[in-house]
């Protein structure tokens, strides 16, 4: 099992298809294919881990934990800052590998997404160095709060932004003093494999960061059920989140779940119309495969006709095509299986009586996994397309007359990850922002993220918050030390 497989060449970048366990590349007896969504070609065979590989990785992480935890924040920070430096030195390779692997736009990866990976690592390393628990005195007792590393963290990441979202979890977990086992997405594992290379280049001690590839039902299930895993952080589907939640509950293990959304984008008549329209069209980013996307557009009735016409005009200008080309706005869906899922939603919406304003199917010119940007209007109130996460380039548009109706429509879903509001009235923004159920509410902007702010979802969008102190409250055992004042010689 300790043999090393030949590396796979992806657009000129050599990537290991093997796991990374205890500082070594480890193969498996079985493998699985990884397909590029750009042309549905086989990128390579990747080691498929299961219980045995997870056991090895967790053991390696467990053995590395005491020394890593003992370094303290200031001792761990140089390793993590070096890791951020290494990531920054390889942004181009990361961008082309991720785009080839999951079909995301290359320009976006180059300019923003991969840089966020380095920023995530560096931010949490620096935050941990300044993290001071509260202290106070009450009734003659001195109280202080301490953040103790908890042990081995199991991190399961999604395919739509695998590298950036891996570092979002790895950064605080390692900065907190935990060691980690990452289970990358089987549809897009390659940039997580590169992350292991970068950890080795940065000099992280063996066993501090481990990567086990595999199918969720095998590697993922083994990781979340492992008795030596003390924290589980998962980003993905609601269905898988429920399974992970049950596994964590069986062992009373803290779990952080970010499970997607069906977010509203609320447009009032007094808004900056051009900005709201531009933001609405921007929801087709990454072919709609974005958990935060405002897929339910809610427009005040008095401007709805103009807004729909603006969406139609803007959609015609969106270039659907090869994500490696700079002129492309919308790339492919991730797999044939996912394409069929999106098609199913669209077909059922049509059957329920929803009207297609534009789009509605696979591109006749491109074929493959390229699905047209689609907008549904006149959708029946309780149609599935308004309730379930499609995770494709499919939006709905509903109208409202009053602020109260807008709030009711916004909250008419089982999800609560995010919401976006466009209005020129600050008091209205405050009222609606307070009334909408969501983990994050943006006003006259979209996707503004400061890493010190809490992030997570309400209702079926998940459990827990990460970011800033919230990440350390999750990944650490928060301890209170109470000392009787004046009791020491």
Burial class (CB in 10 A: 0-12, 13-18, 19+), 369: buried
Check 53, 107, 238, 291 and give the catalytic one. Answer: 291
Bridge-based pairing state of the strands 42-47 and 31-35? antiparallel
β-bridge mates for residue 466, sequence order: 455
Tell me phi and psi for residue 168, to 5 degrees: -60, -30
Contact 397, 357 (CB under 8 A): yes
Residue 291 appears among annotated catalytic residues: yes
Residue 39 and residue 103: Cα distance in Å, rounded? 10
Contact 304, 269 (CB under 8 A): no
Q: Hey, what are 68's tokens? A: 């890593």
Q: Write b or e for each residue in 45-61: b if 16 or more Cβ atoms lie within 10 A of its Cβ, otherwise e.
A: ebbbbbeebbbbbbbbb
Closest Cα to residue 260, out of 463, 470, 472?
Answer: 463
Closest Cα to residue 159, out of 252, 276, 52, 291?
Answer: 291
Check 186, 258, 372, 466 and give the catalytic one. Answer: 258
CB count within 10 Å of CB 314 equals 17
Active site residues: 258, 291
């Amino acid at each position: 099992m300790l043999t090393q497989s030949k590396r796979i060449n992806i657009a000129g970048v050599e990537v290991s298809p093997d796991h990374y366990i205890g500082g070594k590349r480890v193969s498996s007896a079985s493998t699985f294919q990884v397909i590029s969504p750009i042309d549905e070609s086989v990128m390579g065979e990747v080691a498929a881990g299961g219980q045995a590989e997870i056991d090895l990785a967790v053991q390696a992480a467990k053995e590395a934990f005491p020394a890593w935890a003992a370094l303290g924040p200031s001792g761990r920070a140089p390793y993590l800052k070096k890791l951020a430096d290494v990531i920054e030195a390889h942004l181009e390779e990361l961008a082309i590998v991720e785009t080839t692997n999951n079909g995301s736009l290359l320009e976006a990866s180059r300019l923003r997404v991969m840089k966020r990976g380095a920023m995530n690592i560096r931010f949490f390393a620096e935050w941990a160095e300044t993290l001071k628990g509260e202290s106070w005195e009450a009734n003659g007792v001195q109280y202080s709060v301490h953040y103790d590393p908890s042990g081995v963290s199991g991190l399961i990441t999604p395919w739509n932004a695998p590298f950036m979202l891996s570092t979002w979890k790895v950064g605080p977990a390692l900065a907190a003093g935990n060691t980690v086992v990452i289970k990358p997405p089987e549809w897009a594992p390659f940039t997580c494999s590169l992350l292991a290379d970068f950890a080795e280049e940065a000099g992280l001690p063996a066993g501090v960061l481990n990567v086990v590839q595999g199918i969720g039902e095998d590697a993922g299930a083994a990781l979340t059920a492992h008795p030596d895993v003390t924290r589980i952080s998962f980003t993905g589907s609601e269905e898988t989140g429920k399974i992970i939640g049950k596994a964590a509950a069986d062992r009373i293990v803290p779990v952080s779940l970010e499970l997607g959304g069906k977010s509203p984008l609320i447009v009032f008549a007094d808004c900056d119309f051009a900005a709201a329209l531009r933001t609405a069209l921007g929801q087709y980013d990454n072919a709609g495969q974005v958990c935060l996307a405002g897929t339910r557009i809610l427009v005040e009735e008095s401007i709805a006709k103009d807004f729909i016409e603006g969406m139609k005009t803007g959609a015609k200008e969106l270039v659907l095509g090869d994500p490696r080309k700079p002129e492309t706005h919308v790339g492919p869906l991730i797999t044939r299986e996912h394409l069929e899922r999106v098609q199913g939603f669209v077909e059922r919406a049509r059957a329920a009586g929803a009207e297609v304003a534009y789009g509605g199917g696979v591109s006749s010119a491109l074929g493959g996994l390229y699905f047209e940007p689609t907008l549904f209007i006149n959708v029946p109130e309780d149609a599935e397309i308004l309730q379930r996460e499609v995770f494709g380039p499919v939006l709905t548009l509903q109208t409202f007359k009053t602020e109260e109706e807008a709030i009711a429509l916004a909250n008419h879903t089982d999800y609560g990850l995010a919401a976006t509001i466009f209005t020129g009235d600050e008091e209205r923004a405050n009222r609606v922002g307070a009334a909408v159920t969501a983990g994050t509410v943006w006003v006259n902007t979209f996707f503004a993220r400061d890493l010190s702010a809490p992030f997570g979802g309400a209702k079926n969008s998940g459990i827990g918050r990460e970011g800033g102190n919230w990440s350390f409250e999750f990944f650490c055992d928060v301890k209170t030390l109470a000392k009787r004042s004046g009791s020491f010689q």
